[in-house]
Amino acid sequence: MQTNGKPSVKIPDSKLAREVTELIRDTEDELLFMHSARVYLWGALLGERKGVTFDPELLYVAAMFHDIGLTSIYHESQLRFEVDGANAARDFLRSHRIAEADIDKVWNAVALHTTPGIPEHMHGEIALLQAGAGMDVAGRGFEEFTDEERDAVIAAYPRDPGFANRIIDAFYHGMKHRPGSTFGTFNDDFLAYKDPEFVRTNVCSIILNSNWERRTTR
C-alpha cells in the first residue's frame, strides 16, 4: 500500500503470502477477501505508527484467515467461527513448516479477534489483528488514521457503503446453525438482528438456574 505520505505499508511479497492470498481469494467471496486485506492494512499501519513489534507475514496470514470460519466449509461446525479460522490458519502454517511459537501467535490472533479487552495485552500480531478488524467493521480507532491512509486503503480494496449490512449477513450465515457458539460474545447481536425469533441466552439466568441453585432451594 503506497501512500504519498509517510506511514505506508504493503501486502508482504513472499511465497507464503502469495499462497495465502490465493487460497483465501479462492475460498471466500469478494466481500470477505477485501475485508481481510483491509484488516491487514489497518493493523499494519497502526503497528508501524505505534512502533509495535510484529511480523508482517504472520499478521497477513492471520488477517487472511480471520473470517474463513464464516464460509460454507464450516456449515456443520459447532465451534466458534473464530476457532475454525484459527485451526485453518494453523494447518496452513504447519504445512509450510512455520515455527510452533509463531503458529501460536497466529492461532491466538484469529481465535481472539472478537474478544474485547484481551488481545491488546498480547503479542503484536494478536493486538493488531483485533485493532484492524475493529477499524474495518465498526470504525474503531477511525480517527487514528489520516484521511490519506483511509483513502489509499479504500482505493486499493474498496469498502462499499452497504458493507455493514453485508458483513452482518455474512456473520449471520456463518453462525445461524451454531447459535450456542455465540453465547457470552457479541456475535449473538448479529443473530438477534437478523432473526427476530432468536433469543439471547442471558448469563444471569444460567447462574440463577444452575444445579447448585436448584439443589440449595430444594
Of 18 and 200, the one with the shorter C-beta distance to another protein is 200
Which amino acid is present at 81?
F
**Contacts with another protein in 165-194 (CB under 8 A)?**
165, 167-168, 181, 183-187, 189-190, 192-193
218 binds another protein (CB under 8 A): no
133 binds another protein (CB under 8 A): no
Q: How far apart are CA 59 and CA 53, in angstroms?
A: 11
Identify the DSSP state of 119: G
Nearest of 108, 27, 106 to residue 71 by alpha carbon: 27
**Chain centroid offset of residue 101 CA:** 20
SS3 (DSSP) at 42: helix
121 binds another protein (CB under 8 A): yes
- Helix or strand (DSSP H, E) at 44: helix 30-50
| Stretch touching another protein by CB under 8 A, among 15-23, 29-37, 46-54, 206-214 | 206-214
**Per-residue contact flags (x/-) with another protein for residues 62 to 101, judged by CB under 8 A:** -----------------xx-xx--xx--------------
Angle CA 141–64–53, to nearest 5 = 55
Total site size for another protein, rule CB under 8 A: 48
Beta-carbon count within 10 A of 159 CB: 16
158 binds another protein (CB under 8 A): no
**Per-residue contact flags (x/-) with another protein for residues 1 to 30, judged by CB under 8 A:** ------------------------------
Report the nearest approach of another protein to the CB of residue 208 (Å): 5
SS3 (DSSP) at 67: coil
Question: How long a stretch of residues is the chain?
Answer: 218
Q: How far apart are CA 215 and CA 218, in angstroms?
A: 5
Report the nearest approach of another protein to the CB of residue 217 (Å): 9
Give the footprint of another protein on this chain (CB under 8 A).
79-80, 82-83, 86-87, 111-112, 114-118, 121, 137-140, 142-143, 159, 161, 163-165, 167-168, 181, 183-187, 189-190, 192-193, 202-204, 206-208, 210-213, 216
